[in-house]
Amino acid sequence: MTAVSRRWPRWLYSAALYLLAPLIWWRVWREHALTNLRRERLGLTPRLPAGVPRLWLHCASVGEVQAARPLIEALLARYPRHCLVVTTMTATGAERVQALIATRREAGDSGRLRHYFVPLDFPGAANRFIARLQPSLAIFFETEIWPNLLAACRRFDVPTAVVNGRLSPRAFRGYRRLRPLMAAALGQLDWLAAKSRGDAERFRELGMPTTRIDVVGSLKYDLTPDDASSEASKRLCTRLGSRPVWVAGSTHPGEDQLVLEAHARLRQHYANALLILVPRHPQRFDAVAELCLERGMALARRSLGEWPDGRTAVYLGDTMGELLTFYGAADLAFVGGSLVPVGGHNLLEPAAMGVPVLTGPELANFADIAETLRQGGALVEVASSAALADTLVTLFLDEAERHRLAEAGLAVVAANRGALAGTLDGLHRLLRGK
Active-site positions? Answer: 64
Q: What is the rounded CA–CA span in Å between residue 168 and residue 335?
A: 18
Element (H, E) at 116: strand 113-117
> What is the Cα 301 distance to its own chain's centre?
24
Scanning 62-214, the segments in alpha helix (DSSP H) are 62-78, 91-106, 123-133, 147-155, 169-176, 179-186, 197-205
Q: What is the rounded CA–CA span in Å between residue 67 and residue 74?
A: 13
Q: What is the rounded CA–CA span in Å between residue 162 and residue 284?
A: 31
> What is the Cα 34 distance to its own chain's centre?
22
The answer to whether the beta carbons of residues 153 and 138 sit under 8 Å apart is yes
Residues 6+ apart with CB under 8 A from 83: 48, 52, 53, 54, 55, 111, 112, 113, 114
Scanning 79-146, the segments in alpha helix (DSSP H) are 91-106, 123-133
Burial 224-249 (b: 16+ CB within 10 A, else e): ebeeebbebbeebbeebeeebbbbbb
The answer to whether the beta carbons of residues 250 and 320 sit under 8 Å apart is no
Residues 6+ apart with CB under 8 A from 116: 36, 40, 45, 46, 85, 87
339: three-class secondary structure by DSSP: coil
Q: CA angle, corner 11, sides to 5 and 17, nearest 5?
A: 150
Element (H, E) at 310: none
Q: What is the rounded CA–CA span in Å between residue 36 and residue 33?
A: 6
